């Protein structure tokens, strides 16, 4: 199980990330200040670091500088509320592997984490079944590199939200996912629980993967049906 160091001083965001990582089979460790984050990152006990810029004691840029100055190649994904191009450039040129602005969707963060973890794994030979860049359920194949979906012989492009939503369904086939779960996972910790955006994007996806593939489970949410599944729920 990959260990993820999460350096984030906002308790709400740290809890949101930790719950999502744990549910995704990863092992998060939360730290709340820069000096502790730096010390923990240098222990070689972690596979990846999620680093907030606005940490007390030592900001994320300083932490990153110390980590890279030590020779560590630990993958680092920066999180920040800052949206200036200068800050983005500073983070990437300082040695960050990726950069995400708040608010963010957990689904997109998880996709980036998995991409970085894959890039640090050994480069042995792989079979098509081991290709982690393709998600397949029944006739649906999602290419995580190109963000295109293939259903039978037809390919379609996906928007960023459509992509994360479909990935979520494909990773949980035959599971009922509530609107609240999907809102949190795809739209992030700042979502509006009264929004109908999930229903809107499910309609978008149905046009690309088939109207009967994603079914409505009345009063509960949505479910991606596998080919051998049967249901009498309305959809």
Distances (CA, A) of 165 to 14, 50, 119, 183: 22, 22, 23, 9
| Annotated domain spans of the chain | 3-119, 128-224
Structure tokens at 165: 């939503």
Mean pLDDT over residues 179-206, rounded? 84
User: Does domain 128-224 sit in CATH 3.30.2320.30?
Assistant: no
Residues 55 and 33: their CA atoms lie apart, in Å, by 5
Share of the chain above pLDDT 70, in %: 86
User: Does domain 3-119 sit in CATH 3.40.50.880?
Assistant: no
Q: What is the pLDDT of residue 141?
A: 92
CA dihedral sign of residues 207, 228, 22, 2? negative
121 vs 92, more confident: 92
* Span 93-126, pLDDT tens digits: 788 888 888 888 888 898 889 888 877 664 333 3
Say if residue 37's pLDDT is above 90.
yes
Residues 2 and 27: their CA atoms lie apart, in Å, by 6
Residue 85: band (very low, low, confident or very high) from pLDDT cuts 50, 70, 90: low
Q: What is the pLDDT of residue 190?
A: 67
Contacts of 82 (CB under 8 A, 6+ apart): 53, 101
Round the average pLDDT of the chain to a whole number and report it. 85
Say if residue 128's pLDDT is above 60.
no
Cβ atoms within 10 Å, residue 73? 10
Question: Which of 107-111, 159-163, 179-183, 200-204 is the most confident on average?
Answer: 200-204
């Amino acid at each position: 199980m990959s260990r993820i160091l999460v350096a984030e001083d906002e308790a709400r965001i740290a809890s949101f990330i930790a719950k999502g990582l744990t549910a995704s089979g990863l092992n998060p460790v939360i730290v709340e200040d820069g000096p502790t984050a730096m010390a923990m990152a240098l222990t070689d006990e972690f596979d990846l670091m999620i680093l907030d810029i606005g940490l007390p004691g030592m900001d994320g840029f300083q932490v990153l500088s110390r980590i890279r100055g030590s020779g560590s190649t630990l993958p680092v994904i920066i999180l920040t509320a800052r949206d200036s191009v200068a800050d983005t450039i500073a983070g990437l040129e300082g040695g960050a592997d990726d950069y995400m602005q708040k608010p963010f969707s957990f689904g997109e963060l998880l996709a980036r984490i998995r991409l970085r973890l894959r890039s640090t794994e050994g480069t042995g030979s792989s079979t098509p079944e081991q290709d982690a860049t393709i998600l397949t359920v029944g006739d649906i194949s999602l290419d995580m590199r190109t963000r295109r979906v293939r259903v039978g012989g037809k390919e379609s492009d996906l928007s960023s939200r459509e992509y994360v939503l479909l990935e979520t369904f494909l990773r949980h086939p035959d599971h009922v996912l509530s609107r609240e779960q999907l809102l949190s996972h795809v739209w992030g910790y700042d979502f509006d629980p009264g929004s109908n955006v999930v229903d809107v994007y499910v309609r978008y996806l149905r046009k690309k993967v088939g109207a009967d593939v994603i079914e409505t489970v009345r009063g509960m949410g949505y479910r991606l049906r596998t080919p051998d599944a049967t249901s009498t729920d309305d959809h």
